[in-house]
């Protein structure tokens, strides 16, 4: 029973968090339209009113009404979808649709929208409380009633399609759910003499603050409650919007506290005086993903739109952020209040729209430079509040991700063994979070590398190392270019993990073309040292090979660096199955005509097969390491390799063995006809200069 209770709480918490995140586009676009509609510059306002006869103003107003003006409806939908998505009891599509309709109907009942004249303000942020109740409780009730009626007999209409019969099945739980809403709402209206549950909530909250009157304590409680609600994933600004309008909107001479006072000196950057968090991240943040988030959130935060940072960092449900998120606005509020009481800060004399940027809002609200000074003081206070918690959170995250790295590599290796597809960025827990962070870091490193592709910068985190290849006489005849990513915090990242993450993020083509171009640049030095016959091999996945831009890129590269045939060998890896068709063969032949040769990597494993050799003109076949290592222990392996060597003579390709780690293994391979080798017996992958010095 206890376990079930905590599971329900966890489900509700995740529902609120995900539900609010789902309406982030509505919140963001709505906030931007509020900003564009009310930006406090008279020349701009005149432009909106006059441009195309006020058409631009009308469009912005429509966008504002249909986003933040109907926020509660979007919240009801998103909460229901989130709950049904997370609940293990959720049924098929028609069941989810029935639940959604029940929640929407319940919302209109709870806000009393059709009790008397419709109050459209209840569809905006003012109705978020009812949206929470209807979206979560409605989903729970519907699923409960659905399970009750599921055990009964089903009726079907002869001749009707399956969708119609499924809709009939939805009627009972739908009706039961909305009846519950209607009965509860009716009983509450009778008991408390209100028109709806929403009005009861609004009256209750109003009564708490009205009893306190407008004072330091009421303003402090208001700012703290907003931050606390936000931390729990509840849009506190909208829930308490009615309180702000009823109690704090009007500017009263002699009264310090007002909505404009709090918007100007407390809600800088957004709820929680989050501009302090933004600055702390920019100064103390170590992870590139967090740094990138701060750059994205910078402009919205200037206009006090904080949702990107609140959800992206994240702040909500983050135990490290609850203290500064509540403490920062409380201290900033107290600071501004005391400075006003002491006579340094003039009273707020003008209503300022909440999207007005800090510093500008301070001057407009007080008609004094001192308003700007107090805002700067509060920004410093807020930054000081957030800074130690940001550093602590960063340190804790790095420790957690150290273990997550092992888990992530383990998941990928298991996938490689079983050949089952895995999406690492969708993994749960720290492994999934780390995968997302690594994707961001990889994109940053790749961007920096491609901008600096022509230099020999040894500090570049994306390095190309070269593992030499030898023939049976001991001559170095080529090398394979291998990517190595030296992460600033996690060291050298497992290479297949780098490729897999690049594939998931859609950056694989850019990564592989960067490696190829860098290798081509280095090949000139290698040929000057080892001779013009020196062959440099570079990996390319099948998805890159099939990219329409790839052939043109290879052609341009060959002309720019005046490559001779055989200078660069493209190794096709088996990340995706190579299509054995005439079109693929023609594509490979077209690229070969540019002067490139082709190798088939990891032959005998996974998707690779003899069909590849039947349809595609490969110049080299690289035996898989697992096959090579078993030569010493399995007689059948020798026969298999001997057959491949025999086939190579008739199909005109060479055979190279990877993972050659001992003289015994090399001699055994030589006995069955393999005369080209790559492995630790000769050298691991090394930097360019070291490879040149080995000559």
Q: What pLDDT is stored for residue 452 in this prediction?
A: 60
Q: What is the mean pLDDT of residues 227-255?
A: 82
Q: What pLDDT is stored for residue 159 in this prediction?
A: 47
CA dist 364 and 286 (Å) reads: 36
Nearest Cα to 382, choosing from 518, 236, 280, 251?
A: 280
Nearest Cα to 346, choosing from 378, 370, 377?
A: 370
First to last CA, the chain: 73
3-state SS, residue 474:
coil
pLDDT of 290 strictly over 70: yes
What global pTM score does this model have? 0.66
CA angle 204, 350, 246 (to 5 degrees): 10
φ and ψ of 633, to 5 deg: -120, -10
Cα-only R_g, the chain: 33
3-state SS, residue 602:
strand
Residue 386 binned pLDDT confidence (cut-offs 50, 70, 90): very high
Q: What is the mean pLDDT of residues 170-186?
A: 92
Over residues 41-59, the pLDDT tens digits come to 888 888 988 888 889 889 9
Neighbours of 3 (CB within 10 A): 7
pLDDT of 630 strictly over 80: yes
Q: What pLDDT is stored for residue 580 in this prediction?
A: 55
Domains and CATH numbers, the chain: 1-203 (no CATH), 213-391 (no CATH), 453-693 (3.20.20.450)
CB 504 within 8 A of CB 423: yes
DSSP secondary structure letters along 441-471: HHHHHHHHHHHTTTS--TT-SEEEEEEEEEE
Q: What pLDDT is stored for residue 606 in this prediction?
A: 44
Over residues 496-534, the pLDDT tens digits come to 999 999 999 999 999 999 999 999 999 999 999 999 889
Over residues 648-674, the pLDDT tens digits come to 888 889 999 999 999 999 999 999 999
CA dist 542 and 616 (Å) reads: 13
CA dist 553 and 512 (Å) reads: 12
Residue 6 binned pLDDT confidence (cut-offs 50, 70, 90): low
CB 228 within 8 A of CB 312: no
Contacts 24+ apart (CB under 8 A), 491-496: 493/438, 494/409, 494/412, 496/412, 496/416
DSSP letter at 626 equals H
User: Which range has the worst mean pLDDT, 285-289, 502-506, 599-603?
Assistant: 285-289
Burial of 45 (0-12, 13-18, 19+ CB in 10 A): middle
CA dist 536 and 208 (Å) reads: 76
Comparing 189 with 119, the larger pLDDT belongs to 189
User: Which range has the worst mean pLDDT, 175-184, 197-206, 428-437, 581-590?
Assistant: 581-590
Tokens of 292: 């990138």
Q: What pLDDT is stored for residue 108 in this prediction?
A: 93
DSSP letter at 686 equals B
Residue 163 binned pLDDT confidence (cut-offs 50, 70, 90): low
Q: What is the mean pLDDT of residues 537-554?
A: 91
Q: How many CA atoms lie within 13 A of 651 on its CB side?
A: 21
pLDDT of 571 strictly over 50: yes
In the chain, % of residues over pLDDT 70:
91
Helices 508-530 and 548-560 pack at an angle, to 10 degrees, of 30
Q: Strand 597-603 vs strand 568-573: parallel, antiparallel, or unpaired?
A: parallel
DSSP letter at 485 equals E
Over residues 524-541, the pLDDT tens digits come to 999 999 998 899 999 998
CA dist 128 and 321 (Å) reads: 24
pLDDT of 247 strictly over 90: no
Distances (CA, A) of 445 to 70, 288, 459, 485, 566: 42, 10, 11, 9, 31
Over residues 112-160, the pLDDT tens digits come to 988 877 788 888 877 888 898 999 999 999 999 988 887 554 554 454 4
In the chain, % of residues over pLDDT 90:
42
**Neighbouring-strand partners of residue 623:** 603, 657
Q: Strand 654-657 vs strand 676-677: parallel, antiparallel, or unpaired?
A: parallel
3-state SS, residue 654:
strand
Nearest Cα to 143, choosing from 84, 192, 198, 189?
A: 84
pLDDT of 458 strictly over 80: no
CA dist 276 and 259 (Å) reads: 20
Length of the chain measured in residues: 695
Q: What pLDDT is stored for residue 91 in this prediction?
A: 63
Over residues 409-451, the pLDDT tens digits come to 899 888 877 778 888 988 877 888 888 888 888 888 888 777 6
Comparing 7 with 224, the larger pLDDT belongs to 224
């Amino acid at each position: 029973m206890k376990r079930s209770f905590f599971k329900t709480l966890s489900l509700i918490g995740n529902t609120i968090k995900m539900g609010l995140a789902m309406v982030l586009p509505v919140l963001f676009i709505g906030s931007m339209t509020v900003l564009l509609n009310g930006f406090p510059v008279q020349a701009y306002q005149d432009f909106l009113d006059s441009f195309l006869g006020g058409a631009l103003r009308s469009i912005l107003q429509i966008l504002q009404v249909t986003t933040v003006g109907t926020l509660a409806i979007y919240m009801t939908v998103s909460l229901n979808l989130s709950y049904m998505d997370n609940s293990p009891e959720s049924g098929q599509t028609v069941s989810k649709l029935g639940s959604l309709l029940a929640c929407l109907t319940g919302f209109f009942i709870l806000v009393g929208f059709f009790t008397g004249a419709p109050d459209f303000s209840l569809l905006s942020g003012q109705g978020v409380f009812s949206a929470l109740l209807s979206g979560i409780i409605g989903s729970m009730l519907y699923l409960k009633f659905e399970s009750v009626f599921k055990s009964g007999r089903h009726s079907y209409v002869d001749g009707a399609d399956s969708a119609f019969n499924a809709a009939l099945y939805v009627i009972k739980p739908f009706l039961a759910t909305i009846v519950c809403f209607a009965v509860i709402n009716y009983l509450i209206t009778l008991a408390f003499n209100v028109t709806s549950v929403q009005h009861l909530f609004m009256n209750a909250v109003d009564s708490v603050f009205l009893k306190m009157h407008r004072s330091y304590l009421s303003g402090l409680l208001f700012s703290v409650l907003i931050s606390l609600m936000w931390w729990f994933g509840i849009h506190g600004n909208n829930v308490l919007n009615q309180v702000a309008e009823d109690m704090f909107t009007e500017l009263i001479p002699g009264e310090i506290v007002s909505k404009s006072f709090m918007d100007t000196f407390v809600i800088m950057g957004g709820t929680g005086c989050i501009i302090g968090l933004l600055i702390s991240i920019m100064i103390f943040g170590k992870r590139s993903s967090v740094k990138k988030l701060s750059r994205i959130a910078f402009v919205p935060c200037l206009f006090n739109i904080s949702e990107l940072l609140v959800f992206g960092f994240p702040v909500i449900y983050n135990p490290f952020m609850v203290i500064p998120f509540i403490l920062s606005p409380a201290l900033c509020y107290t600071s501004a209040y005391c400075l006003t009481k002491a006579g340094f800060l003039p009273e707020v004399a003008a209503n300022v729209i909440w999207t007005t940027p800090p510093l500008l809002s301070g001057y407009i609200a007080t008609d004094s430079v001192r308003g700007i000074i107090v805002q700067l003081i509060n920004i410093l206070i807020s930054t000081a509040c957030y800074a130690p918690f940001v550093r602590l959170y960063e340190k804790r995250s790095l420790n957690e991700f150290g273990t997550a790295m092992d888990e992530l590599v383990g998941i990928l290796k298991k996938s490689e063994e079983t050949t089952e597809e895995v999406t690492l960025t969708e993994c749960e827990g720290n492994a999934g979070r780390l995968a997302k962070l690594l994707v961001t870091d990889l994109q940053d490193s790749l961007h920096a590398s491609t901008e600096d592709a022509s230099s020999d910068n040894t500090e570049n985190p994306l390095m190309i190392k070269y593992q030499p290849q030898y023939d049976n006489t001991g001559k170095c005849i080529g090398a394979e270019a291998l990517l190595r990513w030296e992460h600033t915090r996690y060291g050298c990242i497992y290479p297949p993990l780098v490729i897999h993450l690049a594939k998931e993020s859609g950056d694989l083509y850019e990564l592989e073309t960067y490696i190829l171009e860098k290798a081509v640049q280095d090949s000139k030095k290698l040929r000057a040292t080892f001779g013009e016959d020196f062959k440099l091999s570079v990996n390319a996945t099948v998805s890159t090979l099939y990219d329409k831009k790839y052939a043109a890129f290879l052609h341009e590269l060959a002309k720019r660096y005046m490559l001779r045939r055989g200078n660069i060998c493209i190794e096709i890896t088996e990340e995706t199955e190579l299509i054995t068709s005439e079109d693929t063969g023609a594509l490979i032949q077209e690229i070969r005509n540019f002067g490139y040769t082709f190798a088939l990597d990891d032959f005998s494993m996974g998707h690779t097969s003899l069909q590849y050799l039947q349809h595609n003109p490969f110049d080299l076949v690289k035996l898989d390491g697992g096959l090579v290592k078993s030569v010493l222990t399995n007689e059948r392996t020798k026969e298999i390799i001997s057959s491949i060597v025999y086939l190579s003579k008739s199909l005109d390709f060479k055979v190279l063995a990877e993972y050659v780690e001992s003289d015994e293994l090399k001699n055994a391979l030589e006995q069955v006809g393999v005369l080209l080798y790559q492995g630790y017996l000769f050298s691991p992958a090394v930097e360019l200069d070291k490879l040149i010095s080995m000559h």
